[in-house]
Amino acid sequence: MEFLSYLINGLGLGSVYAIIALGYTMVYGIAKMLNFAHGDVIMIGAYVAFFALTNFGLPLIPAVLLSVIVCTVLGVTIERLAYKPLRQASSLSVLITAIGVSYFLQNGAQLLWSSATKVFPAVISNGSLNIGSLQISYLTLITICVCILVMAALTLFINRTSTGRAMRACSEDKGAAALMGINVNFIISVTFAIGSGLAAIASVLLCSTYPSVFPTLGAMPGIKAFTAAVFGGIGSIPGAFLGGLLLGVIEILAKAYISTQLSDAIVFAVLIVVLLIKPTGLLGRKLSEKV
């Protein structure tokens, strides 16, 4: 029974990683860059939701929507101001810029809202479902459901809409896509918009489970989610999903059965083994379906 409860907790944690990992993997798939500021967009999303819920007294859904809107605008703005001018520059310059944006956001948040931790209000039900001696909190179930919904919606969007088709085309070959009349800049903006909007959703799930809001909140989940994206095969959407879930489950099980001190070492050891056997990650393929 304990094993089942660890497994479900792991899936809950993994679902959050998966949603964040989608942001990394989509941007990488299309713009071929690592957006290290993604974790900090999550942090901004958490602050927006926090203020919407506590200071403006909005109910949950409008607060999440507001957070999604702010993050979407922020993501697109960052792309326009910081990354677009570097479209032709070396990937190293873009990487450094992304790290710069990350520090900019962290320090900006610290300046605006101070570094003191704020506690995210408990807006999602605190109760739990009891099956025999197994106890599953509703929050974990909601997190897993939201993750599956997001995955399904995104897969439909990528496969069934013309914008989605254009995104796939851009990820295959930007030059050829442009020649076919696709506005590549627009597609990249859409990618950032979707990734950042998802970051806002992830931030609310993350902060409901672990209710601490502080300026460096996004750093650690960001790195873990990036690991998940690489684990699953960066550039692959199902890969991010699988990678996120696996990472969460391995982390929790390693903590429970091996050692709380070594859990991260074990997670990364598994990552190394996977990359040795499959250098492109679990579901990463060289040419097909990189979005």
Partner 1 sequence: MKNHGLVKKVLAALMAVSMMAALTACGGSGSSGSADSAEAAPAAEASAEAAGGVIKIGGSGPLTGGAAVYGTAVKDAAELAVAEINAKGGQQFELRFEDDAHDAEKAVTAYGALKDWGMQISLCTVTSSPGAAAAPLYDEDNIFAITPSGSSLAVIYQDADNAANPYGNIFQMCFTDPNQGVASADYLAAHPDLGSKVAVIYKNDDNYSSGVFNKFKAESEVKGLEIVYDGTFDDSNASDFSVQLTKAQAAGADILFLPIYYEPASLILTQANQMGYAPTVFGIDGMDGILTLEGFDTSLAEGVYLLTPFSADATDDLTKNFVENYKAKKDGEIPNQFAADAYDCIYAIAQAVEAAGITADMSASEICDKLVGQFTSMTFNGLTGQNVTWSETGEVSKSPKAVVIQGGVYVGVED
By the criterion CB under 8 A, which residues form the site for partner 1?
Answer: 2, 5-6, 9, 13, 50, 54, 81-82, 85-86, 88-89, 97, 100, 103-104, 107-108, 110-111, 114-122, 126, 128, 135, 137, 139, 209-214, 216, 220, 223-224, 251-252, 255-256, 260-261, 263-264
| In the complex, least distance from residue 120 CB atom to partner 1, rounded to whole angstroms | 7
| In the complex, least distance from residue 115 CB atom to partner 1, rounded to whole angstroms | 4
| In the complex, least distance from residue 71 CB atom to partner 1, rounded to whole angstroms | 19
- Size (the chain), residues: 291
Helices (H), 79-183: 91-113, 138-160, 162-172, 174-179
Q: Encoding tokens for residue 73?
A: 């605008």
| In the complex, least distance from residue 172 CB atom to partner 1, rounded to whole angstroms | 25
Write the DSSP symbol of residue 121.
P
| In the complex, least distance from residue 82 CB atom to partner 1, rounded to whole angstroms | 6
Minimum CB distance to partner 1 smaller for 150 or for 217: 217
Burial of residue 124, with CB atoms counted within 10 A of its CB: 0-12 exposed, 13-18 middle, 19 or more buried: middle
| In the complex, least distance from residue 63 CB atom to partner 1, rounded to whole angstroms | 14
Minimum CB distance to partner 1 smaller for 86 or for 163: 86
Minimum CB distance to partner 1 smaller for 30 or for 252: 252
Determine contact, residues 147/15, Cβ cutoff 8 Å: yes
Among candidate residues 15, 34, 36, 16, the one with its CA nearest the CA of residue 25: 34
Residues 6+ apart with CB under 8 A from 5: 134, 135, 136
Minimum CB distance to partner 1 smaller for 88 or for 288: 88
Write the DSSP symbol of residue 128.
E
Q: How far apart are CA 18 and CA 232, in angstroms?
A: 10
Minimum CB distance to partner 1 smaller for 65 or for 124: 124
| In the complex, least distance from residue 164 CB atom to partner 1, rounded to whole angstroms | 30
Minimum CB distance to partner 1 smaller for 134 or for 156: 134
**Would you give the distance in Å from CA 217 to the centre of its chain?**
13
Residues 6+ apart with CB under 8 A from 234: 24, 25, 28, 29, 281, 284
Q: How far apart are CA 41 and CA 78, in angstroms?
A: 10
Minimum CB distance to partner 1 smaller for 60 or for 256: 256
